[in-house]
Amino acid sequence: MKISTGILALLLPLTAIAQNYPGMGGSGMSESDMQNMMQQAQKMQTCMQGIDQSRLQAFEQQAGKVEAEVTSLCGSGKRADAQQKAIAFAQEMSSNPDIRKIMECGKMMNGMMPKMPFTDQAGGADTSVKHVCD
């Protein structure tokens, strides 16, 4: 049920935007586009049904704690420690089977999923990646 609510929360702003989207000749998103979007949301919901919600909630709480720690480290000038903490968490996140399943399911929505914290830090040594404190 929480997954349905989450998907609905993602789609509601999109329906408002779609009604006034200028790229569609000023007439908004077509009925078939809306139906396609809803079908994709249903596929995503089906995909995510096997994910244990209690494990996700625990992981979400852990992510909140890590985010607070990283913010605190950045605020106290410990940029290297903050970066290392973010990289370690991103690597843990990328190895978590539930998170990998969410990412896989999220691909069905092509850009409609919110950004997961620190996912751009998983590369580790890639210097082209923006620093977590910036």
Has this prediction a pTM greater than 0.95? no
Instruction: Provide the token pair at 86.
Output: 């973010």
Q: How many domains are there within the chain? A: 2
- What pLDDT sits at residue 64? 94
Assess whether pLDDT exceeds 50 at residue 95: yes
115 and 62, same domain (yes or no): yes
58 and 36, same domain (yes or no): no
pLDDT tens for each residue of 61-93: 999 999 999 999 999 999 999 999 999 999 988
Q: What's the mean pLDDT in 111-130?
A: 53
Domain carrying residue 35: 1-49
- CA dist 92 and 38 (Å) reads 32
Instruction: Provide the token pair at 95.
Output: 């190895």
